Amino acid sequence: MAAPVRDRDGEVVAAVNIAVHAGRTSVESVRRDLLPHLLATVARIDADLRITGPARAAAPGTGTRR
């Protein structure tokens, strides 16, 4: 199960996912027990991205930001 992470413009920039063993849990229990936590986590990340500036790519070959 995954949820999109959006930037301040509403563009999807990443995703957060969870994985469980299919034989040990049901879809219903994942929705009930894990989905609320996943969505809350994504909401916090989205909020952080709304208040930070846009990410900048690293300068080619340097591993540092421009």
Residue 58: its pLDDT value, please?
Answer: 67
Residue 65: its pLDDT value, please?
Answer: 55
| Separation CA 7–CA 26 (nearest Å) | 32
Q: Is the pTM of this model over 0.85?
A: no
- 66 has a pLDDT exceeding 90: no
Residue whose pair of structure tokens reads 């930001």 in the numeric block:
65
pLDDT tens, residue by residue, 23-62: 999 999 999 999 999 999 999 999 998 888 666 666 777 6
- Both tokens assigned to 66: 């421009």
Residue whose pair of structure tokens reads 């229990």 in the numeric block:
29
